[in-house]
Amino acid sequence: MSHILLIDDDTELCDLLTEYLQGENFTLSVVHDGQQGADLAMDDYDLVILDVMLPNLNGLEVLKKIRSNSHIPARIRAIQRRTEANTVAPANNHITVGDITLSLAARQCYLNQDALKLTSVEFSLLEALLLKAGQVINREDLVIQVLGRDLSPYDRSIDVHISNLRKKLGYHSDNSERIKTIRSIGYLYTVAQTMEPQHA
């Protein structure tokens, strides 16, 4: 039985991957910190899967440490940004929609100017939604943009991330829902008629 080390700070995604991979007869160890993951990777694992955005030590630094001390295969889960606005955005770009501001360079979210703690996946998900604020984004596109893979049957991971993001963002000041589910299609970040995404 293969033993996999998963290094990712997104606990919800780790839970989903653990459930799936254990069902495929893999043994999985999970850590949410880059430095801890780099240390643990020196043990006897058949494969390491790591995220790029990690606390204390990012995925590239973790990979460098693993490569210098071990021949274990390691794969980075990189989130590919498929929107033109992201690929041409300057390093100091900000996206503001209503009371939400995203700092793309710092990957920080502010709600009413207060910092909001989001996982890497939640940040990327909110970024995708805000860039298309007021428009429906289908689930398939969100999975590709945010998780970097194609949507597979019975894959509910993006819905779990949406649910967690909703809880952290709360409601608009008028108590209306920020993220609406468009049945059988996808999701919509709701905004007032005059409100559009702005890039600093």
Apex CA 59: angle with CA 102 and CA 161, to 5°? Answer: 50
Length of the chain: 200
Assess contact for 188 and 179: CB atoms under 8 A: yes
- Whether the pLDDT of residue 123 is over 90: the answer is yes
> Can you give the pLDDT at residue 64?
87
Q: Is the pTM of this model over 0.85?
A: no
- pLDDT of 171 reads 92
Of 108-112, 124-128, 190-194, the least confident: 190-194
Is 197 a residue whose pLDDT tops 70?
no
pLDDT in tens, 45-75: 888 888 887 888 888 888 888 888 887 888 6
CB atoms near residue 23 (< 10 Å): 8
For the chain, give the mean pLDDT: 82
Count the neighbouring beta carbons within 10 Å of the beta carbon of residue 161: 24
Of 132, 135, 128, 181, give the one whose Cα is nearest residue 156.
Answer: 181
74-105 pLDDT, tens per residue? Answer: 866 554 333 333 333 433 488 998 899 999 88
| C-alpha–C-alpha distance, residues 44 and 3, integer Å | 8
Q: Are strands 47-51 and 74-77 parallel, antiparallel or unpaired?
A: parallel
Rounded to the nearest 5°, which phi and psi values hold at 142? Answer: -65, -40
